[in-house]
Amino acid sequence: MFGYAQLFGNKATIFLCSFIIAVSVFAPSSAHAQLPPKVQFDLALRQLEQAIENNQWSETLQVIKKLEDQGLELPAIMHYYKGRAYVETGKGLLATKALEAYLGTASDTDAKYTEALDLYTRATKRKEQQKSWLEADIKKLKSAIHNAESRSRTHWDAFRYIASNWPLLYELSQVRISEADIEYGLESECEAAWKASVAEAERKLQNGDYPKRQRKHCKKRSNLCNLVDEMNDYKTRGPKVCRSMHRDWVSTRYKYNEQRNIVLTKTAELEKKQAELAAYNPAQ
């Protein structure tokens, strides 16, 4: 068992007095608020002792944070325990900061001084390793964003190509309506355009407005007449072509939106990683 002296050295009494004053000033908010200040301190200290004895470093950090939240000026040795806890939980950057705070005030005769030096070496290596990982992640994210943006442009060009052939589709793509409305608009526009073309071909046949050099074939209603061929083409291929264009439309929209979502998601991840990396490179 550590006890006050082992944890805080010869500053244990001063720290205890500071804790009692702090508790009397700051309204307690924990489940133990009804306990006297001295007992609250003993309880937190005992939790810290047990966490350190059992190598429960996440718990150690939680207990230290409870003490810090009381507005106390903690003794320097507490930075050592924070640093060790951060090292053991793999947080290199936070570990180096905590250990620098300890080593900046500690004497080379302090019990934990040599251990702190060794921990600082481990923390620095971990910090540099994690920094390199962040830089690699950022590089990958930038590449992923670039590729997704390139693919989205390709799908958008295909989307616009289809829409440019059917004006109604382009209009529908500019407003917020349901996918069902867009799909219906596509098929109806496709059908309407083809039917209009067929109607024009029928009108020309009825009026004898035949293409040059095809009069004989058109009078006989032969497929060698372009007008007749167009009418028959609609009957045999029209619905199939419209359905195919419908699938292309829906597929292109889906692929475009998929890539845009990737761009947005990866951009958010990139910004988060860049903010983390900035902590490794503080402004001079």
> Average pLDDT, stretch 220-231?
85
- Of 69, 37, 48, the closest CA to residue 4 belongs to 48
User: In the predicted model, what is the mean pLDDT of residues 56-62?
Assistant: 91
Of the chain, the percentage scoring pLDDT greater than 90 comes to 35
pLDDT the model gives residue 184 = 54
Residue 230: band (very low, low, confident or very high) from pLDDT cuts 50, 70, 90: confident
Query: Which own/partner contact pairs does 118-122 have at CB distance under 8 Å and 24+ positions apart?
Result: 119/80, 119/83, 119/84, 119/87, 119/95, 120/83, 120/96, 122/87, 122/95
Question: What is the architecture, at CATH level 2, of domain 3-132?
Answer: Alpha Horseshoe (1.25)
Report which of residues 226 and 181 the model is more confident about.
226
What is the pLDDT at residue 160?
75
Contacts of residues 109-112 at CB distance under 8 Å and 24 or more positions apart, as own/partner, are: 110/9, 110/77, 111/9, 112/77, 112/80
Q: Which has the higher per-residue pLDDT, 187 or 88?
A: 88
**CB neighbour list of residue 170: distance below 8 Å, 6 or more residues apart:** 160, 163, 164
- pTM (global) more than 0.85: no
DSSP letters, 28-78, are: P-STTTTS-HHHHHHHHHHHHHHHHHTT-HHHHHHHHHHHHTTT----THH
- For the segment 110-144, what is each residue's pLDDT rounded down to a tens digit? 889 999 999 999 999 999 999 999 999 999 999 99
Where do the structural domains in the chain lie, given as residue ranges? 3-132, 146-280
Cα 118 to its chain centre, rounded Å, is: 36
Share of the chain above pLDDT 70, in %: 74
- The predicted pLDDT at position 190 comes to 67
Task: Provide mean pLDDT across the span 7-26.
Answer: 46
Q: Are 25 and 17 in contact, with CB atoms under 8 Å apart?
A: no
Q: What is the C-alpha to C-alpha distance for residues 136 and 132, in angstroms, rounded to an integer?
A: 6
Collapsing DSSP to helix, strand or coil, 281 comes out as: coil
pLDDT in tens, 103-112: 999 898 988 9
